[in-house]
Each structure stands twice: as structure tokens, then as C-alpha cells.
Amino acid sequence: MSINKIGVIGAGQMGTGIAQVCALAGIDVALNDISQERIAAGISVIESSLAKQVDRQLIDKAAKEAALARIRPALDYEAMRDCDMVIEAASENEEVKRKIFSKLCAALPPHVMLASNTSSISITRLASVTNRPERFIGIHFMNPVPRMQLVEVIRGIVTENETFETAKELIVRLGKTYTVSEDFPAFIVNRILLPMINEAIYTLYEGVGSVDAIDTAMRLGANHPMGPLQLADFIGLDTVLLVMQVLHEGLADSKYRPCPLLVKYVEAGWLGRKTQRGFYDYRSGAPIPTR
């Protein structure tokens, strides 16, 4: 099946990134969020991101303008009826996602494929609330979407081959590389990455090292581009906690127990960069370790 128009639900960090790469690949995009203001803010973020790509000479001004022209606000799900696929990129909360897909199915023709950008939740379970589980698939983009090369493709038990092949063809068209994961909690990347971050938080919690010591150790000792605590702040500590909870509940193994310090930071509303405080304090402009 050819994908000519894609709906994206969620104009946050992931949704705007997905919309941007789709538009640059020549695909029309309908961008939706809970309010017109959120959509407008998302389009503004995309415009700024494209301008930076022009400055870095990754694209030219004509490509930027053409991409922006392909993105249109969708104030409700009815505005996505002419899409070939709709990708949900809402917060990593299963109940929120289930409600979105239930409402989507009532608004969209039966041929429209559905995808979730979930980083951890069962694709089979999400598909079960729809009227088209055979046309449902997981397409997990990495953050930040415009820069990261990998996309995980996850089939549910009922996902048909046509849906699977169409998703893979779309990712290649976007200039990305796909890897196929079975439908297990957190898939491949987060199954490995998030427990490492959680262990780094335990290392801080137990007093083995400070924030700066842990991040410096992993940057220089393991050649990671950023330390695990810095990365946690970038991802969002609430998202880190949610994924660890999915792993802990889904696999029933104590090694996936979220660190109590992570729980405390989330309870305090210190979620990382998006709230200006997490394992680092960003309010002064220069990140300052909070421990």
C-alpha cells in the first residue's frame, strides 16, 4: 500500500519529529493535538528545527518551505479520514493511547492503517481496542526523530503482512533504518537502555558516585555520547519511570524494579529538561548537578 498522507497524533517532541521527517520525504501530514494552540506550537517547533537544518546545510530553503507546506493542522480525527496511516505519538500512558485508538476507529474508514510510537507498551494489547488489529503496528522512532537513524518495527499477533511490509517501506522512504522486534515489553532498545539508566540512578541513590562522576565515567569510560543521567533528563524522568514499570510488571523480574530515587524525582515534578530540573538543574542555562 502506498503512503501519501499520514496523520500524526501528538504535537510534542516525538510527534513533531515524526511529522517533520515525513514532510521532508514528500508525504502530506495532518498534525493533531488536544488544542489548536498545541498544534500551532508544534508547527513552530518544526519550523525552527528545519531552519537549523538549513543553517547546517543539511537541506536547502526550498526543501524547508516545501516540507512546511505539507504539514496541516488537524483539529479533530475527522480531518484524518483521507490519511493512509495515522501514527499515535501521545504520552507513554496505555490508558491515554487506548482512548485515542477507540475514538480514531470511529472516525476513520476501515482501510486506514494505525500505528503507535509507543516505546514499551504491548502492540497486541493496543490493537485489541481497535476494529482493525490486522492493520495495526508498532513504529517506534528514536528521540530526536530528525537526527536518530533507527526505527523499531513491532508486529502484534494479528498484524497482517501487508501492514508490516508497508511500515518497513515507509521507514526506508524516510531515510531511516528499521529493526524488527517481537512484541515483548520495551522491545529491543529500551529493554537494554532503560535498565542501564535505572542502574545509574541506583548507583547515585546508593552513594557510589555523584551525578557528575557517573556521567563522566560513562562518557569517558564507555565512550557514550552523553551520560546516563543526562540522557534520563533528556528522555524525561516520567517516561523512564513508566518504561521501567512496564518492564517490571510485564516480566515480573526484580531486576527491573524502578529505583526509589527515580520515583521521588517524578513525585517532586523534577522530570528533566522539560521541567528545567531533574538530575541537573537547567534554570541558569548551564546544567548544574542536583546531587
| Cα–Cα dist 134/162, whole Å | 9
Contact 156, 53 (CB under 8 A): no
Q: What is the DSSP string of 25-77?
A: TT-EEEEE-SSHHHHHHHHHHHHHHHHHHHHTTSS-HHHHHHHHHHEEE-SSG
What distance in Å separates the CA atoms of residue 134 and residue 151, rounded to the nearest whole number? 20
End-to-end CA distance of the chain: 52
Catalytic residue among 117, 120, 122, 140: 140
Counting Cβ atoms within 10 Å, is residue 43 exposed (0-12), middle (13-18) or buried (19+)?
buried
Grid cell listed for 281:
538543574
- Residue 248 bears catalytic tag: no
Selected catalytic residue, list 92, 117, 120, 152: 152
DSSP structure class, residue 121: S
Q: Which of 119, 120, 122, 181 is catalytic?
A: 119
Number of alpha carbons in the 13 Å side-chain half-sphere of residue 186: 21
CB 90 within 8 A of CB 43: no
Would residue 223 show up in a list of annotated catalytic residues for this protein?
no
Q: Is 140 a catalytic residue?
A: yes
Per the annotation, the verdict on 224 as an active-site residue is no
- The neighbouring-strand residues paired with 31 are 8, 73
Q: Please, which residues have CB within 8 angstroms of residue 235's CB and are 6 or more apart in sequence? A: 143, 197, 272
Catalytic residues: 119, 140, 152, 190
